[in-house]
Homo-oligomer: A and B are copies of this chain.
Amino acid sequence: MAESNHLSPGWNLPAGEALLQDVFGIVMEEIVRKGTDASEKVCEWKEPEELKKLLDLELRSHGEKQEQILDRCRTIIQYSVKTCHPRFFNQLFSGLEPHALAGRIITETLNTSQYTYEIAPVFVLMEEEVLKKLRALVGWSSGDGVFCPGGSISNMCALNLARYQRYPDCKQRGLRALPPLAIFTTQESHYSLQKGAAFLGMGTDSIRLVKADERGKMIPEDLEKQINQAEAEGAVPLFVSATSGTTVLGAFDPLEAIANVCQQHGLWLHVDAAWGGSVLLSQTHRHLLDGIERADSVCWNPHKLLATGLQCSALLLRDTSNLMKQCHGAQATYLFQQDKFYDVSLDTGDKVIQCGRRVDCLKLWLMWKAVGGSALEQRVDWAFTLTRQSM
């Protein structure tokens, strides 16, 4: 690190470098080694009041010595949950993938935003390649996509794209210019659809719950029935959200049959494959998602089954008409100038609802390069093997 700093007086840069070295050592010892050791605890549990005292959270006007900061890092790690621990089973993610973590450390240190080629040349091209690969696994040789801040927002964006495709006017004139719209999903689907319907101004009432069978899978005949009923009640059926890998039961909705219904009625088919999308890597198990290539949009979170680390959520589109940029774009002239010295169609900022956007592709790309698609397939197959052994 250079000796002087342009940003601020009194910044001690050699000390900063030493801090980073020391913190990395602590991370390796206390998380990477101990956190993955089955003989250590998953979490040293404390009640909130006691934990507050142990952490001394208050932010003051004076700073602290480096040794004290290092102690704080150790304390933070000590009382945090080790999601990389062999006995951590709380959520739909776990484990520690060293190549993905390496990608994340590079991402954090480079600290750039994904919106234009000029500020993120490597990552704009890399995101494009990673999304192309994920689309190929879905069964699409063309299409569009982007990484979103989590599956909930991916699902919301899919809903917004479906709405815009049917009613482009909505972007400018709003929902008041539209007929009431109907969304279809099962009780087993993720609650982000409820949140999305509310956030997008459609209201949770616009969601019609389709029956699921005893294994949690959508019943296509009931979808047909619900669509007819919505129409009879004066609503316009718009969007079906099928799930590949439901949160609680891990059910895979029958996509072929659902796609038939959507095709017949002209509805947008979204597949929430946040958890189950990674099963597409497995020749043995990918039949669970047969028909996914007929979807209009797919949400797939490699941070779940592929353990790339939070957040890594791809929204994939079959569309080739530039729908994302038309729907989400705001053409901010100070950032997305049209007279740049490179092909501005590379800029991704108008595809998304954010402005600054984190780089979420490198961790997945680096892991894939390091272990290869065939090893990722083995990992997915192994997860299925473990599930069967525990049943």
Beyond A8-B378, A51-B122, whether A59 also contacts B200 by CB under 8 A is no
CB of A83 closer than 8 Å to a CB of B: yes
Q: How far is the CB of A116 from chain B (nearest CB, A)?
A: 9
Q: Which residue in chain B gives the minimum CB-CB distance to A281?
A: B61
Return chain B residues, CB-CB under 8 Å to A83. Answer: 110-112, 119
Beta-carbon contact of B19 and A172 below 8 Å: no
Beta-carbon contact of A90 and B119 below 8 Å: yes
The segment from A69-77, A208-216, A217-225, A314-322 found at the interface with B is: A69-77
CB of A205 closer than 8 Å to a CB of B: yes
Question: Which of B342, B365, B371 lies in contact with A48, CB distance below 8 A?
Answer: B342
Beyond A109-B27, A119-B91, A382-B7, whether A355 also contacts B152 by CB under 8 A is yes
Bound-state CA distance A263–B322 (Å) is 43
Q: Which residue in chain B gives the minimum CB-CB distance to A21?
A: B28
CB of A84 closer than 8 Å to a CB of B: yes
Bound-state CA distance A163–B31 (Å) is 43
Q: How large is the interface on A (under 10, 10 to 19, 20 to 34, 35 or more residues)?
A: 35 or more
Q: Which residue in chain B gives the minimum CB-CB distance to A328?
A: B195
Beta-carbon contact of B108 and A152 below 8 Å: no
Beta-carbon contact of A59 and B171 below 8 Å: no
Return chain B residues, CB-CB under 8 Å to A63. Answer: 369-372, 374-375
Question: Which of B23, B52, B177 lies in contact with A102, CB distance below 8 A?
Answer: B23
Beta-carbon contact of B10 and A378 below 8 Å: yes
The segment from A186-194, A250-258, A286-294 found at the interface with B is: A186-194
Q: In terms of DSSP, what is the predominant structure of the interface of chain A?
A: helix
Return chain B residues, CB-CB under 8 Å to A21. Answer: 28
Beta-carbon contact of A203 and B173 below 8 Å: yes
Bound-state CA distance A130–B153 (Å) is 25
Bound-state CA distance A121–B51 (Å) is 8
Return chain B residues, CB-CB under 8 Å to A23. Answer: 102, 105-106
Return chain B residues, CB-CB under 8 Å to A375. Answer: 8, 10, 63
CB-CB contacts of A17-59 with B at 8 A, as 1s and 0s? 1011101100110011100111000010111100110010111
Beta-carbon contact of A150 and B73 below 8 Å: no
Bound-state CA distance A90–B340 (Å) is 14
The segment from A92-100, A138-146, A237-245 found at the interface with B is: A92-100
Question: Which of B5, B129, B151, B247 lies in contact with A58, CB distance below 8 A?
Answer: B129
Return chain B residues, CB-CB under 8 Å to A206. Answer: 174
Q: How far is the CB of A287 from chain B (nearest CB, A)?
A: 19
CB of A266 closer than 8 Å to a CB of B: no
Bound-state CA distance A24–B27 (Å) is 11
Beta-carbon contact of A171 and B191 below 8 Å: no
| A–B complex contacts, Cβ < 8 Å, 8 sampled | A17-B98, A57-B125, A62-B374, A63-B369, A91-B119, A152-B356, A156-B353, A201-B201
Instruction: Kindly list 5 other residue pairs between chains A and B, CB separation below 8 angstroms, not including A63-B370, A81-B121.
Output: A55-B122, A73-B366, A90-B118, A191-B330, A247-B334
